[in-house]
Amino acid sequence: MSRKEHDDGAGRSRRRPRYSAWSLVRHGLGVGRDWERAFRHHTPRESYDVVIVGGGVHGLATAHYLAVNHGITNVAVLEKSYIGSGGSGRNTAILRSNYLTPEGVRFYDRSVKLYEHLAADLNFNVMFSQRGHMTLAHNDSSLRTMHWRAEVNKLQGVDSSVIDPPEIKKLVPYLDVSPSTRYPILGALYHPPGGIIRHDAVVWGYARSADAHGVHIHQKTEVVGIDVVANRVTGVRTADGRRISAPVVVNCTAGWSTLISDMAGVAMPVQTFPLQAAVTEPVRPFLDTVVVSGTLHTYVSQTDRGELVFGASVDPFASYSTRGSLDFVEGLAGHVLELMPALSKMRLLRQWAGLCDMTPDYSPIMGLTPVEGFYVDVGWGTYGFKAGPVSGEAMAACIANGKPPEIIAAFGLDRFDEGRLVGEKGAAAVGH
């Protein structure tokens, strides 16, 4: 992996003053200049080597790794709103690698490893808090699935094991582990390297780095068309009437990915579902572990600010609306109190929703498409934030080399035509 400071005529990079306690003190004392912009405004060029549609973690990470790993810097990221306005800015920020299939485990494990060093790599503290991730089992079939995951994980070298109610109670004293509840807790899959992260910081960190390497990030720039000539991508059109030519266009638009693929004439096995989340007002930290219950469709973690962040499974019907529902918060509160009855006096502060691009096998679609130059990195469903780094790295390699690297070989679009689905569905239903 070569890391070069890149400064050619294409993407113009610059040395960026580094963040450190010392820089903070200097600014605090008013010494030195103002803070540098983390990302700049540019006038769009007429052409780029690579146009990435979607300014979420996937698009920005792809841009970052294209520049850093492959020296490809004449790159534009086009974002219709603000960076991180999609799933990347509204997800519950849970990272883990305890998946069910070997290909899944390997892939997400690489991502967790990248996340572990991301703050240093990006010189931006993304606050990855590896506080442990616990998936509760309330019946024997889910307990069996936990064991299945634990066994697969162990074989891939991922720290993951099934623990019993007393151990669960020790880690999360607020959980009601008594056997007399409606959904008794029989055990849990415990995954110490899992945790939460400051999701926006990941987006900003990648954007700042990509910008520093000369990538253009165009916010408020919506792609409304993709030009394809003789089955080859030639460029994109934007809502403000521009045409930007590029031999490579990458679809990193998650919930909206069908719409972008449609523009290139590529049909997708994707359906867009809203996924809701909510936060409470902050209280003093009492929950150190991420707690997930698939049976109760609930997961909860406590941020460093003290608020509880809740999520659930996707809405019961497909939609592009991010309004959210009362049903969701009612069900959520009921299930959270089923798990932790002491929380009834906490207050729900805000609820919101994001869009998830669900695939039939709960696994992503990455790599080439039948249209030359049109790449996809989609199908991230409810679980794609954690995959940001590895996807960026793999997609960058895929674009640089024209073929998907081994780590994403199982995730090609052609698997659906060939009936080779990935077996992740069993474990992923409410896994985040």
Partner 1 sequence: MMLLPCPNCGARNVSEFRYVGEAKTRPDPTTATPQEWRRHLYLHRNPAGWTRETWYHGSGCRRYFAIERNTVDNAVRTAGATS
Partner 2 sequence: MTRRTVGTGDCRLGSRPGEVIDRSRTLEFRWNGAVHRAHPGDTIASALAAAGVRVFSRSYKYHRPRGLLTADILDPGCLLQVGDEPNVRGAHRLAEAGMDVRSQNTWPSLRYDVKAVNQVAGRFLATGFYYKTFIKPERLWPAYERVLRRFVHAGEVPPDGEQLYYDKRYAHPDVLVAGGGPAGMAAAVAAARAGATVMLVEQEHQLGGHLRWGDADDLRVRAELVAAVEAEPGIEVLTDSVVAARYDDNWLAVVQRGLPHVAERLVKARAGTLVVAAGLIERPYVFAGNDLPGVMLSTAVRRLLNLYSVRPGQRAVVVTANPEGDAAATDLRAAGVDVVEVDARHGRTVVRAAGRGGVEAVELSDGSRLDADLLVTATGWTAPTSLLNMSGSNPVYRPDAARFVPDPAATPDTVIAVGGIAGDGTLEELVAHAEAAGREAAARALSLAAAHARIRPTSPGGADAAERAPEPVAPLGLRRHPELFFATPIGGFVDMSEDVSAKDILTAVQEGYDSSELVKRYTTATMGPAQGKLETVNTVALVAHATGSTIAETGATTWRPMYTPVTLGALAGRRFEPVRHSPMQPWHEAHRAAPLVAGQWIRPEHYGDPAAEVRNVRAGVGIIDVTPIGKLDLQGPDVPKLLNLLYVNKWSQLGVGRVRYGVMCADDGVVLDDGVTGRLGEHHYLMSTTSSGAGTVWEWAENWLQTEHPDWRVHITPVTTAFASINVAGPRSRELLARLTDVDLANEAFGYMNVRTGTIAGVADCVLWRIGFTGELSYELHVPASYGLHVWESLMAAGADLGVAPFGVEAQRILRLEKGHLIVGQDTDGLTKAYSAGLAWAVKLDKPDFVGKPELQWQSEHDDHPRLVGLQPLDPTVVPEEASQIISDGGHIVGRITSSRMSPTLGRSICLGQVDAHLADAGTRLTVRLRDGRDTLVEVMAEHAHFDPEGERQRV
Ligand X SMILES: Cc1cc2nc3c(=O)[nH]c(=O)nc-3n(C[C@H](O)[C@H](O)[C@H](O)COP(=O)(O)O)c2cc1C
Taking the C-alpha atoms of residue 244 and residue 88, their distance in angstroms, rounded to an integer, is 25
202 half-sphere exposure, CB direction, 13 A CA radius:
37
Interaction residues for partner 2, span 279-338 (CB under 8 A): 280-286, 304-306, 321-326, 329-330, 332-334, 336-338
Strands 232-238, 271-280: pairing kind: unpaired
* Candidate ranges 33-41, 134-142, 319-327, 390-398; the one touching partner 1 (CB under 8 A): 319-327
Select from 116, 137, 397 the least CA-distant residue to 292: 137
Give the three-state DSSP class for 221.
coil
d(CA 389, CA 395): 10
Among residues 424, 429, 431, 430, the alpha carbon closest in space to that of 100 is found at 424
Exposure string over 229-257, b if 16+ CB within 10 A, otherwise e: eeeebbbbbbeeebebebebbbbbbbbbb
The total of other beta-carbon atoms located within 10 Å of residue 45's CB is 15
Q: Exposed e or buried b for every residue in 381-418, given b needs 16+ CB within 10 A?
A: bbbbbbbbbbbbbbbbbbbbeeebbebbebbbbebbee
Per rule CB under 6 A, is residue 308 in the interface with ligand X?
A: no
> Residue 283 binds what, of ligand FAD, ligand X, partner 2, none (CB under 5 to 8 Å, by partner type)?
partner 2
Give the nearest distance from C-beta 238 to ligand X in angstroms.
23
- The span from the CA of 153 to the CA of 209, in Å, is 32
Residue 182 interacting entry, from ligand X, partner 1, partner 2, none, C-beta within 5 to 8 Å by type: partner 2
Question: Between β-strands 94-95 and 50-53, what pairing exists: parallel, antiparallel or unpaired?
Answer: unpaired
* 367 binds ligand FAD per the rule CB under 6 A: no
| Beta bridge mates, 365 | 378
239 touches partner 1 by CB under 8 A: no
d(CA 160, CA 276): 27
Q: In terms of CB distance, is 97 or 298 closer to partner 1?
A: 298
Structure tokens at 191: 């995954």
Q: Which does 130 bind (CB under 5 to 8 A by kind): ligand X, ligand FAD, partner 2, none?
A: partner 2
**187 or 274: CB nearest ligand FAD:** 274
Residue 318, both tokens: 């497909």
347 touches, from ligand X, partner 2, ligand FAD, none (C-beta below 5 to 8 Å by class): partner 2
17: partner contacted, choices partner 1, partner 2, ligand X, none (Cβ within 5-8 A by kind): none
> Judged by CB, which is closer to partner 2: 80, or 264?
80
Site string for ligand FAD, 324-363 (x = CB under 6 A): ------------------------------x-x-------
Residue 365 Cβ vs ligand FAD, minimum distance, rounded to whole Å = 11
How far apart CA 351 and CA 7 sit, in angstroms, is 44
Distance in angstroms (rounded) separating the CA atoms of residues 366 and 398: 9
Subset of residues 25 to 64 that bind ligand FAD, contact rule: CB under 6 A: 53-59
User: Which positions from 123 through 162 interact with partner 2, judged by CB under 8 A?
Assistant: 123-130, 138-141, 144-145, 147-148, 150-152, 154-155
- Judged by beta carbon distances under 5 to 8 A according to partner kind, the member of partner 1, ligand X, ligand FAD, none in contact with residue 327 is partner 1
Residue 106: CB minimum distance to partner 1, A: 24
Binding footprint of partner 1 on the chain (CB under 8 A): 256, 258-259, 267-272, 316-321, 323, 325-327, 360, 416-419
Binding footprint of ligand FAD on the chain (CB under 6 A): 53-59, 78-81, 85-88, 90-94, 222-223, 252-256, 260, 275, 277, 311, 354, 356, 380, 382-386, 432
